[in-house]
C-alpha cells in the first residue's frame, strides 16, 4: 500500500507546527506535494487527488461508514503514534531487532498488513532524525508535538493513543524503566495522568492479577466497594469504543479490545470482593 495510507485523504492537524516539521522530514517530497496542493485549494491531498480519493474510498469500502471517519484526524493520529513511538523505544538509547519486530506486529495487528512496511520506513526516518538532532532537541520537538496533539484531539482519543503506546512499550514482555519514564513524560504533555499510564501498562495482566486489576481501575486495593463501582463506571465512560469511532473502524476495534480488558479487570476485583 502506498505511503499515503498515513497521510492520504484530507490533511489533518499535522500540516503545521512540530508535527508538520517531522512529517516534512519523514515523508519528504510526498508530504510537500500534498501540502502544496492543499495550499492551492485542493480538496483532497495525497499522492495525487485521484490516488488520495482512492485511499479514502478503499478505506470506507473495507470498514464501512457506520460513523463518519475524519480522515485528517485519523491520519494525523496514525503519524503521531509513530512520532511518539520513535521517542519511547529509543528512551534506553538503542533500538533492538526484537523491538522492531514487535512494532511490525503492533502495526499489523492494529492497522493491517498494509501499514507495516510504510510505517516501518517512516519510523526509521524518525530514528535518523533523532540521531541528527540529538536526544535533547528531539525530546523538545516530541513534547511540542504532544502539545499540538492535545490541542486538536479530544481527551478520549488521546487516551486511545496512550493505550497504543503502552502496547508498544510492553509488547516484548520487558518494560524498561526509562521507557516508562518516557511514556509518563509523553502522557503528561498530552494532558493525561500517571495513573492512566499505569492503567494502560497493566491492561494485559488485569484479568489474572489482582494488583494489576486495581491499577487498571486507577484505584488502590483499600478502596471501598462503592469507590470500586464508581471507578469502573468512570473508566467505562471515558474508554467507550464509540468515543474513537471517527478515527476509523480499526482504531475502534482496538478500543473494543481495551474495553474488554477493563471489564475483565473489573470482574476479577468484583469476584474477589463477592460483589
Interval 242-252: pLDDT, tens: 999 888 888 89
Q: What is the pLDDT of residues 102-148, one digit of tens each?
A: 888 888 877 777 778 888 888 889 999 999 999 899 999 999 999 99
Rounded-to-integer distance, Cα 130 and Cα 127, Å: 5
Rounded-to-integer distance, Cα 106 and Cα 99, Å: 10
What pLDDT score was predicted for residue 212? Answer: 95
pTM of structure:
0.83
Q: Inform me whether the pLDDT recorded for 86 exceeds 80.
A: yes
Task: Work out the percent of the chain whose per-residue pLDDT is above 90.
Answer: 47
What pLDDT score was predicted for residue 7? Answer: 56
197, 162 contact by CB (below 8 A): yes
What pLDDT score was predicted for residue 39? Answer: 46
Rounded-to-integer distance, Cα 96 and Cα 102, Å: 10
Cell of 111: 492497522
Query: How far, in whole angstroms, is CA 169 from its chain's centroid?
Result: 12
Rounded-to-integer distance, Cα 1 and Cα 17, Å: 27
Q: Inform me whether the pLDDT recorded for 149 exceeds 50.
A: yes
- Stretch 213-217: mean pLDDT, rounded? 96
- Cα–Cα distances (Å) from 248 to 4, 87, 111, 135, 222, in that order, read 16, 25, 10, 33, 39
Rounded-to-integer distance, Cα 255 and Cα 243, Å: 9
Considering only CA atoms, which of 83, 55, 226, 228 is closest in space to residue 161? 83
Helix 71-89 to helix 135-152 angle, to the nearest 10 degrees? 150
Cell of 174: 520487558
Q: Inform me whether the pLDDT recorded for 48 exceeds 50.
A: no
Q: What does residue 243 show for φ and ψ, rounded to 5 degrees?
A: -65, -20
H/E segment holding residue 24: helix 17-39
Q: Inform me whether the pLDDT recorded for 17 exceeds 60.
A: yes
Amino acid at each position: 500500500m502506498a505511503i499515503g495510507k498515513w497521510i492520504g485523504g484530507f490533511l489533518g492537524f499535522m500540516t503545521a507546527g512540530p508535527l508538520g516539521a517531522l512529517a516534512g522530514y519523514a515523508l519528504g517530497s510526498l508530504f510537500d506535494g500534498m501540502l502544496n496542493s492543499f495550499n492551492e485549494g485542493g480538496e483532497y491531498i495525497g499522492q495525487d487527488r485521484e490516488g488520495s480519493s482512492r485511499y479514502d474510498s478503499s478505506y470506507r469500502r473495507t470498514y464501512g461508514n457506520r460513523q463518519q471517519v475524519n480522515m485528517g484526524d485519523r491520519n494525523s493520529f496514525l503519524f503521531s503514534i509513530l512520532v511518539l513511538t520513535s521517542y519511547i523505544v529509543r528512551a534506553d538509547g538503542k533500538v533492538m531487532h526484537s523491538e522492531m519486530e514487535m512494532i511490525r506486529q503492533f502495526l499489523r495487528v492494529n492497522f493491517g498488513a498494509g501499514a507495516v512496511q510504510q510505517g516501518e520506513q517512516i519510523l526509521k526516518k524518525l530514528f535518523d532524525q533523532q540521531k541528527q538532532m540529538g536526544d535533547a532537541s528531539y525530546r523538545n520537538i516530541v513534547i511540542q508535538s504532544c502539545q499540538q496533539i492535545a490541542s486538536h484531539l479530544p481527551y478520549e482519543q488521546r487516551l486511545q493513543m496512550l493505550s497504543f503506546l503502552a502496547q508498544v512499550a510492553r509488547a516484548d514482555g520487558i518494560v524498561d524503566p526509562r521507557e516508562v519514564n518516557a511514556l509518563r513524560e509523553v502522557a503528561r504533555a498530552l494532558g493525561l495522568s500517571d495513573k492512566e499510564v499505569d492503567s494502560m501498562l497493566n491492561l494485559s495482566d488485569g484479568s489474572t492479577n489482582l494488583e494489576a486489576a486495581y491499577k487498571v481501575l486507577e484505584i488502590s486495593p483499600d478502596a471501598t466497594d462503592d469507590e470500586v463501582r464508581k471507578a469502573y463506571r468512570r473508566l467505562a465512560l471515558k474508554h467507550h469504543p464509540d468515543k474513537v469511532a471517527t478515527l476509523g473502524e480499526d482504531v475502534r476495534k482496538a478500543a473494543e479490545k481495551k474495553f474488554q480488558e477493563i471489564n475483565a479487570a473489573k470482574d476479577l476485583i468484583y469476584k474477589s470482593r463477592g460483589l
